[in-house]
């Protein structure tokens, strides 16, 4: 029988208060991240620190407001469920969280054309009031150009596209992107180089040949 990693021991009252203050002021660090599943205040600090980044990650890939809200909620729920298995070797908290986001969004793509079961599932959109809905719509509109670029990347191999997305769209460092994708930094560097080269060639081909400026000037003079 496989036994998972043990949950961290509950901290003392003073230690907990200091940990919460540190998380709120400086962010949830690797040593605190396993606590997000058992300490509501630490999770609150973690959520506030990363909600904008996760929303942006999802919105750049999912144009539907309601489903983007659902996925964002699911990502944080998955983080709570797996926090006790977190180890610093899995990457910094941000990279670890976006790794979870990447897996869930990829699963969404695989299942988006299938009939979904469980109609009683709580939808994230039910929790949205009119102000929240307007905010999501505004962010989706602002991210439309990023999604257009993202769609043009679909012809790239999965591994190369994943690294390019994380670096170019989600603004992760190469090391963070490697951690989020679960690969070595050197592998991420090679995939990023290949992806940029292929995407540049595709965009240049889509734009068509560059007009001959000298010919245009001659026509203007004629």
Per residue in 96-124, pLDDT (tens digit) is: 999 999 989 887 766 554 434 444 343 44
Q: Which domains does the chain have, with CATH numbers?
A: 12-111+137-143 (1.10.1740.10), 153-208 (1.10.10.10)
> In Å, how far are 8, 40, 104, 105 from 192, measured between CA atoms?
37, 38, 22, 20
Residues 6+ apart with CB under 8 A from 170: 53, 56, 57, 60, 98, 177
The pLDDT score that the predictor gives to residue 186 is: 93
pLDDT above 80 for 159: yes
Residues in the chain: 222
d(Cα 131, Cα 141) in Å, to the nearest integer? 15
Top mean-pLDDT range of 10-24, 79-93, 97-111, 153-167: 79-93
The pLDDT score that the predictor gives to residue 10 is: 56
The pLDDT score that the predictor gives to residue 55 is: 92
In which band, very low, low, confident or very high, does the pLDDT at 76 lie, cut at 50, 70 and 90? Answer: very high
pLDDT above 60 for 215: no
The pLDDT score that the predictor gives to residue 131 is: 63
The pLDDT score that the predictor gives to residue 141 is: 63
d(Cα 50, Cα 171) in Å, to the nearest integer? 14
- The mean per-residue pLDDT over the stretch 67-88 comes to 92
pTM value? 0.62
Which among 47, 52, 53, 8 is positioned nearest to 24, based on CA atoms?
47
Top mean-pLDDT range of 2-16, 37-51, 61-75: 37-51
The pLDDT score that the predictor gives to residue 146 is: 56
In which band, very low, low, confident or very high, does the pLDDT at 216 lie, cut at 50, 70 and 90? Answer: very low
* pLDDT tens per residue across span 165-201: 888 878 889 999 999 988 999 999 999 999 888 888 8
Q: Are 164 and 196 in contact (CB under 8 A)?
A: yes
For CA atoms 48, 90, 164, 158, the dihedral sign is: negative
The pLDDT score that the predictor gives to residue 190 is: 94
Q: According to DSSP H, which parts of 83-127 are helical? A: 93-111
Averaged pLDDT score across all residues of the chain? 77
């Amino acid at each position: 029988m496989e036994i998972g990693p043990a949950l961290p021991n509950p901290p003392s009252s003073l230690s907990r208060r200091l940990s919460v203050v540190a998380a709120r002021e400086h962010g949830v660090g690797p040593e605190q991240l396993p606590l997000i599943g058992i300490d509501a205040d630490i999770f609150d600090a973690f959520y506030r620190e990363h909600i904008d980044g996760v929303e942006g990650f999802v919105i750049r890939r999912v144009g539907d407001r309601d489903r983007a809200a659902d996925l964002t909620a699911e990502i944080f729920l998955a983080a709570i469920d797996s926090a006790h298995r977190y180890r610093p070797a899995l990457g910094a908290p941000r990279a670890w969280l976006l790794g979870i986001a990447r897996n869930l969004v990829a699963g969404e793509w695989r299942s988006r054309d299938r009939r979904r079961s469980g109609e009683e599932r709580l939808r994230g959109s039910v929790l949205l009031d009119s102000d929240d809905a307007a905010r999501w719509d505004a962010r989706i509109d602002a991210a439309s150009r990023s999604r257009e670029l993202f769609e043009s990347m679909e012809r790239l191999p999965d591994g190369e596209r994943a690294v390019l997305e994380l670096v170019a769209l989600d603004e992760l460092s190469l090391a963070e992107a490697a951690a989020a994708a679960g690969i070595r930094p050197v592998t991420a560097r090679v995939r990023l180089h290949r992806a940029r080269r292929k995407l540049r060639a595709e965009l240049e081909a889509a734009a068509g040949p560059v007009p001959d400026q000298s010919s245009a000037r001659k026509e203007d003079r004629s």
